[in-house]
């Protein structure tokens, strides 16, 4: 099936594929920053004691996790203009990606903090560290360490999810691949080029996660 791949056409479209690849890259980067900001905020709200501040954070995380990104994307894409908010598709896409991944990031950070054994805090108390010192010196360094791998995992999901932006006509890698399919009636070439682009990003992130955990593994705490 791949034997008949027309590599000449793939090379001809290489500049467009490259542009799409770069778009995917920066859309994902923007989505990642938004997601981290939202994630930290939602997590901070979810673990603080005031109920009326906790409720919206918990609701946000639950609603996002229980609905598909595509429905969230369409919700914003078809919905915002009716509220008089007209934004470029690309920005809508970034907002949707940030909102979606932000909920997962919040959960990741929260379980990172909850994974710190109580004994660690008590050890800090017993040596006379204040609450802020315990957070800064004991809890957060360990919690952040525990979140790096799952955060990279969610980033892989985010990169792949960004392909859905092609459905609201944002030009990125998936859309660029479709150009070959539509211009030349060569869906195979277009899709293979697209898939390869994502695999490059996937393996890069995956090996980053692997390298990180190999270097920073805490003995006995996988």
Partner 1 sequence: MFWFYAERILGYWPVLLKGLGMTLGLSLLSLLIGAAIGFAFGIIRAGGNRWLSRALGIYIDLFRGTPFLVQVFIVFFILPAAGIELSAFAAGVVALSNLAACFIGEIVAAGLKAVPQGQREAALASGMTPAQQMRLVLMPQALRIVTPSLVGQFVLLIKDSSVVSAIGLLDLTRAGWMIVQSVPQGLMVFGTVGLGYFLICYPLIHLSRRLERRGQDALL
Enumerate binding residues for partner 1 (CB under 8 A). Answer: 1, 62-63, 65-72, 74-83, 156, 160-164, 166-167, 174, 177-178, 181, 187-188, 191, 194-195, 198-199, 202-203, 206
Nearest to 6 by CA among 139, 180, 179: 180
The C-alpha atoms of residue 180 and residue 164 are separated, in whole angstroms, by 18
Query: By C-beta, is 16 or 161 nearer to partner 1?
Result: 161
CB 74, min distance to partner 1, A: 5
Both structure tokens of 153: 């995992």
Q: Which is nearer to partner 1, 104 or 124 (CB)?
A: 104
Q: What is the DSSP letter of 218?
A: P
Tell the smallest beta-carbon distance from residue 135 to partner 1 (Å). Answer: 25
Residue 136 C-beta: closest distance to partner 1, Å:
29
Shortest Cβ distance from residue 36 to partner 1 (Å)? 21
Q: Least distance in Å: CB of 165 to partner 1?
A: 10
79/141 with CB nearer partner 1: 79
Secondary structure (DSSP) of 8-41 = HHHHHTHHHHHHHHHHHHHHHHHHHHHHHHHHHH
CB of 3 or CB of 128, closer to partner 1: 3
> DSSP readout, 43-91?
HHHHHSS-HHHHHHHHHHHHHHHTS-HHHHHHHHHHHGGGGT----HHH
Place of tokens 């080029």: 193
Go through 206-215 and write b for each residue having 16 or more CB atoms within 10 A of its CB, e for each that does not: eeebeeeeee
Q: Would you say 202 or 212 has its CB closer to partner 1?
A: 202
């Amino acid at each position: 099936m791949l034997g008949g791949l027309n590599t000449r056409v793939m090379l001809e479209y290489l500049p467009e594929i490259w542009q799409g690849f770069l778009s995917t890259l920066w859309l994902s980067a923007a989505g990642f920053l938004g997601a981290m900001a939202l994630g930290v905020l939602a997590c901070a709200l979810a673990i603080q004691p005031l109920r009326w501040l906790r409720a919206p954070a918990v609701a946000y995380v639950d609603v996002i996790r229980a609905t598909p990104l595509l429905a969230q994307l369409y919700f914003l894409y078809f919905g915002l203009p009716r509220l008089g908010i007209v934004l470029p598709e690309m920005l809508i896409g970034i907002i949707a990606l940030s909102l979606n991944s932000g909920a997962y990031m919040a959960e990741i950070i929260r379980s990172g903090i909850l994974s710190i054994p109580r004994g660690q805090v008590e050890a800090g108390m017993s040596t006379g560290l204040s609450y802020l010192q315990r957070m800064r010196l004991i809890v957060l360094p360990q919690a952040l360490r525990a979140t790096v791998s799952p955060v990279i995992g969610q980033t892989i999901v985010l990169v792949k999810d960004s392909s859905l932006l092609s459905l609201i006509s944002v030009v990125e890698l998936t859309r660029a691949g479709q150009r070959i399919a539509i211009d030349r009636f060569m869906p195979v070439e277009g899709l293979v080029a697209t898939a390869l682009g994502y695999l490059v990003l996937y393996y890069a992130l995956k090996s980053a996660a692997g390298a990180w955990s190999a270097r920073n593994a805490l003995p006995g705490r996988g």
